[in-house]
A and B are shown apart, each in its own frame.
Chain A
Amino acid sequence: MRQPDPDRSPKVSDEVRKTTCYMCACRCGIDVHLKNGEVAYIEGNRDHPVNHGVLCAKGASGIMQHLSPARLRAPLKRTGPRGSGEFEEISWDEALELAVSWMKPIRESAPEKLAFFTGRDQSQSFTSYWAQAFGTPNYAAHGGFCSVNMAAAGIYTMGGAFWEFGQPDWERTKLFLLFGVAEDHDSNPLKMGLGRLKERGVKTIGVNPIRTGYNAVADEWVGITPGTDGLFILALVHCLLEAGKIDLDYLARWTNAPALVDEDPKSDRYGLLLRDDEDRLLVIDRRTGRPAPYDGAGVKPDLRGKVRRAGITHRSVFQLIAGRYLSKDFAPEAVEGRTGVPAARIRRIAAELAHVAFDQAIEIDQPWTDFRGERHEKMIGRPVSVHAMRGISAHSNGFQTCRALHFLQILLGSVETPGGFRFKPPYPKSAEAHPKPCADPHPGQPLDGPHLGFVHGPEDLLYREDGTPARIDKAFTWENPMSAHGLMHMVISNAHAGDPYRIDTLFLYMANMAWNSSMGTGRAMEMLSDTDEDGEYVIPRIIYSDAYSSEMVAYADLVLPDTTYLERHDCISLLDRPISEPDAAADAIRWPVVEPDRDVRGFQSVLVDLAARLGLPGFVEEDGTPRYADYADYMIRHERRPGVGPLAGWRVGETGMTHGRGAPNEAQLDSYIANGGFWMGHVPAEGAFYKPWNMAYQDWAVETGLTDAPRPYLFDLFCEPLRRFQLAAEGRTEPQPPDHLRERIKLTLDPLPIWYPPMEDGHADPVEYPLHALTQRPPAMYHSWGGQNAWLRQIHGSNPLYLPSHLWQAHGFSEGDWARVSSAHGEIVVPVAEMAALNDNTVWTWNAIGKRKGAWALDDKAPEATKGFLLNHLIHELLPEKGDGLRWSNSDPVTGQAAWFDLRVRIERVDRDPGESYPVTEPQASPVGRGPKTVAQKVGE
């Protein structure tokens, strides 16, 4: 019988346009297939350094985001009350003039009255430049509520963090530990890396209270009690020290373990490190037994160093470390109760770490030269690698926990060595190589320097003359001195309270602050729409840029509609968060692979336009005419430093085309497009490892424009800036913290990693709220963006709260039941489900599935709005009052990182199916109508 013969070789598309995905912040390369000029199909770009052709569930659903019915269509001006979602569409001219009419007077009188905060955009070097030119000190991106603990601990400890700034040496590592990660930003590379490890039979240990996703495939699962990773890690440190399984040579050469600590309690430099008159760190040189600058030619630093200077004893950091961590307080037996990890198991894992790091060490025959001028014949690797993210960072003890983890890696000698953890250019970069934060506004003038940066002591904090915090989010104050990313989660409540001062215009970009990114969603909505006695809004004006009809849109007075990611230029720049790999610097662009069919504009181009209308320096020529036509023009022609612009590829050199440093090139974007949307510059083989100390790398970094001079540095096992804050708190140095913060600073800003219980545990009674409540990123959903996606919302249309089996049984739950979940701050009623592969004291749900009725062009009866829920209703940016008359912030006391995962709750079964999750938020009107009934998208015949 004849068989049917379907077409085996249909034409795939008329044209492929290569750009960068933005269904999340991972920045994979995509091939966008067009038929008749319309997007027909999206697949991964095989040549791209980030994803090598693969895509995640979101990436492959890009077409549904691009065609989402929730796309905004034109600028919107509010007509109904805030939160109602009632708007009229206006023209761009009208919108921009309105914005300028609000902003111009602010700039001329009090620039700080404009607060500009951005979400997960990828143009922070540009948006911060804009805010700096405007002159407001009130700028930050969302990092403060996201993962600043990870970033800051990494940079203060070793000049770079996990996150997007470094990764395990997937090809060589022989043991991999994953702490507190569900998806992470680098989600495709992580998945690809895990796949590679499996292929090579490499063991993975997942440390996570919840065993899903990456942790489900891990060979071993450590179902740790939330908030106790610091103890677990320091117990591993204890075991390794006790057995002498640490890389002494590495510690002596590359870290400040041999640095000398002032041991005299009477000294005013008590606890600080010994330096010479030129402020160079001193170590004992083993060749001479005498102090010498750490970076002197041929110096061999001594780990046992001890010296008396001017009558004061100094002893090496390493001795302090041995003293502290060999203590029984950190013995596995002492921590097993709190962490829920049996002592024997901690000891075995320590033994595995030691075994792999030292008995299975790697050697690469690659000579290299260090910053002391010493030549090394080989590169020795300790093939233990680690990755961690918000599970350890989103706790109020997260900064110290993240530091403890780096501490462990460094003791093993597995950072920047083969098989260990590797930085991606422009990292490594020590904390000192970063700028310090600036916050002095001058009317009509730009700010003196960048808003965000790294402080090194109390003198770097940002206060106004009257002693009140300089920034609206109170970043870089005694409450959270090292808040390197600002505190976006405090902006709305501080602005509402007028504390430290009132602002006029809140300008937000790409952050759904009226919903899933606020701690306390209900209160956020109230504060955004609250009025004073005159009936005026307490936060007088809100301008917001979104691409879609989100919950936040409803609270804006003026909405500036952005394009989708396929319709605009974007720049993924070495100046902020590039797409580099350990072996290469790399940056990328997005470009309009299709033109928008609505009256929308790329937000960065709108900022360029606003800047020109406001006459911001850097954005206008001497004669006041606009310097840049749009963002694409800025990407090409802007120079941050001479020869260094947003994009490093295809610049104009003295003799022709060059990369890294060079003059602007009018055709630069064409070159990017022709090359698949990205540029890569390879690190020379000699510079592949030991980057912070490797002169081949340092020289290459200068050549490539990553830095202007070689800047080798030591890893800071001992973090001296922390000690400087402690010194002040001890009353030894000026300026000093307010009294109520003294004890806390002394305790938490310890220069060596420590563990203390999460702050909420000290405030909310763990007996009354015995359970930890967590959220996880669902792999197929990006925060609230995914809800409008016809394909993805079928995968995650609602979210139950998962309960461990013993609770499930104890409370007599059965399938389809609902529970009341209460915290010290609120109550929700939600559907529940059972899970056995879960820590006994933990409940959890997928993050950001719940939606407000009317948002995202969804039906009011959409499961997202009826069954879906947010845990955010139970969270507060302040902890409950606890007898001292104070409301402490629910943030890490070092960095201000929002402590999302400190949440404690109690659950009860509810008898009747309530039909809808509680609380129920009033619907918002949809300025874009509702989505169509049926989707059957096909471009070709």
Chain B
Amino acid sequence: MKPAASLLAFTTLSGLGLGLLVFLSLGLPPVSGWGAFAFFAISFLLAGGGLSISALHLGRPERALKAFREWRTSWLSREAWASVTALGLTGLYALPLLFDGPRLWPIGILAAAACIATVMCTGSIYAALRAVPRWHHWSTPAMFVAYAVTGGALLAGQVTMAMALLAATGIAQFLAWRTGDARVARRFGTRNTATGLHGHVRLFERPHTGENYVTEEMVFVVARKHATKLRSIALVLAFALPLVLLALPFSHLLGVAAVLSHAAGVVVARWLFFAEAEHVVGLYYGR
């Protein structure tokens, strides 16, 4: 699939933002006043910014509100509801804190759940696509949540938890790639099933000599050797390096570096998430 910049930005930023909100809503760290303002501002900028960037991906952004309609079947619609709920609840939770008011625990817990639900919805949008076997698995939303909370823990300065999560998510990502590879090999279908033809089937001519919406969106091919290299880079940047940085004696600078390294790693991993996800339609275009 095409790793569109808007989707990379949207999933990365909103994941980090919502992840941070999860922690803030659970009082980790227990911010208030200007501290709360700063933390919530960052998290809202990330989450809200990410979500609004997602509207850029729409052909008709002015009609974005229609997306709330089909929550009964569509994960995208559910994501819309979940995100509004999450932002609403975290807002409700944050508001008193800004004025050093009370910490509304029940709302905080609900807000954290809504943030996680939002990220789960995002992941489920992809996981629901049977036509993309690499995504079509429970691990897809799980990894989205794992990334979000890991990033959130980092941003929230929860060093120990962050270290644990970094290690766990890193390993999980490694396993997810491996199982994803196996799933693709198993479930992708073949040019024979795609065409119903027997014998060795090979694309002779594309229907049109140029590209089209489908090839541009869905027939993005990343060379295998690049993928392996990028996977290593993603693992190092997103997990290994931040772990090392956190393991060093604490300093804010190192903390910031860990966050930046993680964010960069997430971008690479997200790029791979899209770029490596092959759509079965590729079978009609010479995969």
**What is the interface of chain A, defined by CB distance below 8 A to chain B?**
794-799, 835-837, 863
Known A797-B210, A836-B202, A863-B210; further 7 A-B contacts with Cβ < 8 A: A795-B207, A795-B208, A796-B209, A797-B208, A798-B209, A835-B204, A837-B204
**What's the minimum C-beta distance from A799 to chain B, rounded to whole angstroms?**
8
A507 to B210, CA, bound (A): 38
Name the distance in Å between A336's Cβ and chain B's nearest Cβ: 27
Which residues of B from 176 to 206 have beta carbons under 8 Å from A? 202, 204
How many Å lie between the Cα of A796 and that of B210 in the bound state?
8
Q: Number of B interface residues, CB 8 Å?
A: 6
Question: C-beta contact mask, B162-177 vs A, less than 8 Å → 1, else 0?
Answer: 0000000000000000
Q: Are B204 and A863 in contact (CB under 8 A)?
A: no
Interface-centre pick from B202, B207, B208, B209 (highest chain A CB count, 10 A) = B209
- Could you say which residues of chain B place their CB within 8 Å of the CB of A797? 208-210
User: In the complex, what's the smallest C-beta–C-beta distance from A634 to chain B, in angstroms?
Assistant: 43
> 1/0 per residue B197-238: CB within 8 Å of A?
000001010011110000000000000000000000000000
Expressed in whole angstroms, the minimum distance between the Cβ of B284 and any Cβ of chain A is 16
B interface residue numbers (CB < 8 A to A) = 202, 204, 207-210
**Residues of chain B contacted by A794 (CB below 8 angstroms):** 208-210
B202: nearest chain-A partner, CB-CB: A836
Q: For the complex, give the distance between the alpha carbons of A487 and B202 in Å.
A: 42
B209 A795 Cβ-Cβ under 8 A = yes
Interchain residue pairs with CB less than 8 A apart (17)? A794-B208, A794-B209, A794-B210, A795-B207, A795-B208, A795-B209, A796-B209, A797-B208, A797-B209, A797-B210, A798-B209, A799-B209, A835-B204, A836-B202, A837-B204, A863-B209, A863-B210
List A contacts of B204 (CB < 8 A): 835, 837
- The A contact surface, by secondary structure, is loop
* CB-CB nearest in chain A for B208: A794
| Least distance between A576 CB and chain B CB atoms (Å) | 36
Question: Which residues in B have their C-beta under 8 angstroms from that of A835?
Answer: 204
**How far, in Å, is A837 (CB) from chain B's closest CB?**
8
> A794 to B207, alpha carbons, bound, how many Å?
9
B225 to chain A, nearest CB (A): 15
Q: How far is the CA of A836 from the CA of B210 in the complex (A)?
A: 23
Please give me the residue from chain A that is nearest to B206 by CB atom.
Answer: A795
Chain B residues lying within 8 Å of A837, measured Cβ to Cβ, are 204
For residue B209, which residue of chain A has the nearest CB?
A: A797
* Docked CA distance A799–B208 (Å): 11
B202 neighbours in A (Cβ, 8 Å): 836
| Distance (whole angstroms) from the CB of B202 to the closest CB of chain A | 8
Nearest CB in chain A to that of B286: its residue = A815
- Docked Cα-Cα span, A472 to B9, in Å, equals 70
B219 shortest CB reach to chain A, Å: 14
What is the CB-to-nearest-CB distance from B185 to chain A, in angstroms, rounded to a whole number?
22
CB closest chain-B residue, reference A836: B202
Q: Please report the C-alpha to C-alpha distance between residue A572 and residue B54 in the assembled complex, in whole angstroms.
A: 59
CA A863 – CA B202 in complex, angstroms? 24
Chain A neighbourhood of B208, CB < 8 A: 794-795, 797
* B210 cross-chain contacts in A, Cβ below 8 A: 794, 797, 863
Closest A residue by C-beta to B211: A794
Q: Which residues from B are CB-within-8-Å of A836?
A: 202
Query: In the complex, what residues of A have CB within 8 A of residue B209's CB?
Result: 794-799, 863
A941 to B234, CA, bound (A): 52
Q: Which residue of B lies closest to A849 (CB)?
A: B209
Alpha-carbon distance A797/B207, docked complex (angstroms) = 11
Q: How far, in angstroms, from A622 to B63 measured CA to CA in the complex?
A: 75
CB distance from A182 to the nearest CB of B (A): 14
**Once bound together, how far apart are the Cα atoms of A798 and B209, in whole Å?**
6
- Ranked 9 nearest A-B pairs via Cβ: A797-B209, A794-B208, A798-B209, A797-B210, A795-B208, A794-B210, A796-B209, A835-B204, A863-B209
Nearest residue, chain A, Cβ from B200: A836
Q: How far is the CA of A837 from the CA of B209 in the complex (A)?
A: 20
Residues from chain B with a CB closer than 8 A to the CB of A799 are 209
A796 contacts across to B, CB distance below 8 A = 209
Measured CA separation A798–B211 after assembly (Å): 12
The smallest beta-carbon distance between B189 and chain A, in angstroms, is: 22
CA distance A794 to B210 in the complex (A): 6
User: A216's closest neighbor in chain B, by CB?
Assistant: B204
Q: Which residue of B lies closest to A796 (CB)?
A: B209
Cα separation A796 to B208 with both chains bound (whole Å): 6
Q: Which residues from chain B contact A798 at a C-beta distance below 8 Å?
A: 209
Q: How far is the CA of A766 from the CA of B202 in the complex (A)?
A: 32
Docked pose: A863 CA to B208 CA in angstroms: 12
A863 to B204: give the CA distance in the assembly, Å: 19
In the complex, what distance in Å separates the CA atom of A837 from the CA atom of B204? 10
| Alpha-carbon distance between A835 and B204 when the two chains are bound, in angstroms | 7
List the A side residues contacting B207 at CB < 8 Å: 795
Nearest-neighbour CB distance to chain B for A788, whole angstroms, equals 16
Min Cβ gap B214→A in Å is 13
Question: How far is the CB of B236 from the nearest CB of chain A, in Å?
Answer: 32
Return A796 CB to nearest CB of chain B, in Å.
6
A780 closest partner in B (C-beta): B208
Instruction: Please measure, in the bound complex, the distance between the C-alpha atom of A837 and the C-alpha atom of B201, giving whole angstroms.
Output: 12
Closest approach, in angstroms, between the C-beta of B73 and any C-beta of chain A? 12
> Chain B residue with minimal CB distance to A791?
B208
CA distance A798 to B210 in the complex (A): 8
Considering the complex, give the chain B residue whose CB is closest to the CB of A792: B208
In the complex, what's the smallest C-beta–C-beta distance from B132 to chain A, in angstroms? Answer: 24
Alpha-carbon distance A794/B204, docked complex (angstroms)? 17
CA distance A464 to B43 in the complex (A): 95
